[in-house]
Every structure is written in structure tokens, then in C-alpha cells.
Amino acid sequence: MTKRAIIHVDIQNDFCYGGLLAVTDGDSVVKQANQITEDAFQRGDLIVFSADCHPFITSHFEKWPPHCRKGTLGQKFHPQLKIPDGSIIVFKGIGNKDDGYSAFDKENVKLFIVVKGRSVPTSFKNLSSLLHFLKIKTVDVDGLATDYCDKATVLDAIRLNYRTRLILDACRAVNLNPGDEEHAVEEMQDAGAVITSTERVLNETR
């Protein structure tokens, strides 16, 4: 029985090198994400990939440069990111008045399952409803970016009573202001998140 969900947050072209809203060193998380995915697949865990999927006109772009617009190359996942069959994809930020930071957003999201390399729509309204259906109570989070979408996803997971860990070395931060990453990690820890590493996750006995 699946006991854990791995949530890879927004490892998309626009957040990596050369993207419209590139996170410094963002590409470097792909290696760890792939290792975590392979391990999770072998263990029978649920593997989730969240992705910004913004319309071309949205209030979100009043705060950020346009990025991850639906159907563009920048909105696609990093080409080296491995997405096995059975993975869940959460498209978020699909409305024109929402930011879509959290993979646990209840509205303006669409869930798909990967079948033979293709994304097939599911009947679940949001990620939490899927995890509830599967009786999953533990989530691990990594990806981009620590101080925004990772943080929002972690804090929502905790509010929803999931046991939540942040795989810190598999994350990178925007750091618009000095110290944003450190403050975000502190906020997540204070809320109850456990900070862990790729090595610990791969080597743990469950």
C-alpha cells in the first residue's frame, strides 16, 4: 500500500537556466529529483509533479514577469526530469486571478495521471482529495523554489495534517531579498516540517 507521496515542485523550463524566471542553479535539482523518483518508484510511493500553468493574462503577472504560460516551452518540465508512468501531475495557477503557489491549492488546479507517457485527466478535484482517497499521510517536498512554491506547498500540507518533510538539498530559492531562503526554512520548521536531505531519504528503512 502506498504510504507516502513525493511532491516535486515546479521543475520547469522557465524556472531553470535560460528560463523567463530562472532560479539560480535551478537545474541542479533535477539530479536529486530523479534519484528520489527512482527510489520512490521502487518503494511503491506516489510520485507527484506540480507545474505552474498560467493563462497568458493573469493578475499573477503583476507580481512576477510572465512565465510558465500554458502551452509554451517554458511551461514544460525540464527535459532531463524523469516522469514515470503512474505519476500524478498537478497543473496549478490556471485561473487568471490566482498565484498558484501551492500544489495543495483547492481550486484552479487540474490533476492528470501519466499513462504510457501521456497525461490523462483524473476525476480528483485537487491533490488533497487524491491523497485522502489513497490514505496517504506523509509527504516529502522538493523542487523550485524554496521561498515560494515549496514553502506554500509545505505549509499547506502541514495545515492539512500531513506529516511533512522538506528535502532541502533538492530545492533552490529565488532569494529576492537576502535571507529569504533561511527565513522560509525557519517558517516551515516552526510550522512543524522536518528538514531532511536526499541522502537520508534514499537510505532510510521503511
- Catalytic residue positions? 10, 92, 149
Domain boundaries, the chain: 4-203
pLDDT value of position 2: 64
89: CB partners within 8 A, 6+ apart:
48, 49, 50, 51, 83, 111, 112, 113, 114, 119
Q: Which CATH class is domain 4-203?
A: alpha beta
**Sequential DSSP letters for 134-159:** TT--EEEEEEE-IIIIIHHHHHHHHH
Please tell me the pTM assigned to this model.
0.97
Residues 103-147 pLDDT 10s: 999 999 999 999 999 999 999 999 999 999 999 999 999 999 999
pLDDT value of position 3: 85
